[in-house]
Amino acid sequence: MQTQEQDTEGDKRFHKNDQLTIPIYIDISKVNTFLYLAFLIQLTFNLLVVYLTEAGYTNFFGFKKFFFDDEESIPTFFSSSNLLFAGILLALIAHFKSKLNDPFSTHWKILSILFILLSIDEIAGFHEMTIDPMVRAYHLDGYMRFPWVILGVIFMAGFSMYYFQFLKALPKPYIKGFFCSCLIFLSGSIGLETISAKIFINLQQSPKDLMYNLVTTMEESCEMIGIIMFNKVLLSYLKSMNIPINFYFKNSH
C-alpha cells in the first residue's frame, strides 16, 4: 500500500509537466576522434584482407566484412551512417534557417535531402545499376568503365553553379571546410573511381588484384575522410548558431 501511494504521488508529479526536456551535450572533438579511430580500425582490417588475398589465403578469419570493396560490409554501413548523420545535421540547420527566414534555407534543405539519398544509395547501390545499361548502349571502356561518374560530373557542375552564392555567403572558415571536405570526397568517389575503372578486370578477378584493391582502398578512404571532415564542419557550424536544441517527450494524457 505504501509503495502504491508513492507511485501515485510520482505519477502526479510527472503529469504536472506536459513536456520533458533532455539536454544532449556533444563534444565535437570526441565525436571527430571516435569517427577517425573507427575509420583507422576498418582501414587496418581492410589492408589485412588485401595482404591475405595477395598471399593466397582463402580463409580471412572473419575480416572479410571489413573489405572496402565489398558492398555488404562494415565500411559500407559506416559510410552510410556518416552520410545519414550529415543529412540529419543539415536538416537541423535547415529548420533553424527557415525559422530565421534565411534566404538560403532551401539550399540547406536540398543538401539534407541529398545526403539522406546518398546514405540510402550507399547501402542499396542504385548508382551501380547505371553501369551495365550505359556500357552496352555507349560501348564504354577504360576510364569510363564505371559510367555513373559521367552523371556525377554533370550533376556536380550544375550543383556548383546553383550553390555558388550559398558558399559565398558562408563565413570564411566554413567555406574552406566545405570546399576541402567536398574535394577529398569527390577525389575518391569520382577521381579514383575512374582509375579503378581503368584497371578493373571483372567481378571475379578484380577483388584478387593487388593494384585494384589498393586503388579502391584509397578511393573509399577519401570518401570516408571527406564525410567525417564535413560532419565536423556541420557540427561546428551548428554550434556557432548558438541555438539550444531540446528533445521533448509530450504527455498524450
pLDDT at 134: 75
Q: Residue 22: beta bridge partners?
A: 247
Report residue 53 as a C-alpha cell. 588475398
248 three-class SS: strand
Helix (H) or strand (E) holding 168, with range, is helix 164-169
Each domain of the chain, given as residue ranges in start order, spans 78-243
**pTM listed for this prediction:** 0.84
The mean pLDDT of 54-64, rounded to a whole number, is: 82
The share of the chain scoring above pLDDT 90, in percent, equals 52
pLDDT at 248: 64
> What is the rounded distance in angstroms from the CA atom of residue 39 to the CA atom of residue 230?
15
38 three-class SS: helix
> What is the rounded distance in angstroms from the CA atom of residue 84 to the CA atom of residue 24?
19
The answer, yes or no, to whether residue 38 has pLDDT greater than 80, is: yes
The answer, yes or no, to whether residue 5 has pLDDT greater than 70, is: no
Between the CA atoms of 116, 117, 120 and 125, what dihedral angle is there, to the nearest 10 degrees?
A: -150
pLDDT at 29: 92
Average pLDDT, the chain: 84
Report residue 131 as a C-alpha cell. 553501369
For residue 241, the tally of other CB atoms under 10 A from its CB is 13
Of the candidates 149, 121, 132, the one whose C-alpha atom is nearest the C-alpha of residue 219 is 149
Per the CB < 8 A criterion, the answer to whether 211 and 163 are in contact is no
pLDDT in tens, 132-173: 777 777 777 777 777 778 888 898 999 999 999 999 999 988
171 three-class SS: coil
CA neighbours within 13 Å on the CB side: how many for 185?
Answer: 20
Per the CB < 8 A criterion, the answer to whether 21 and 248 are in contact is yes
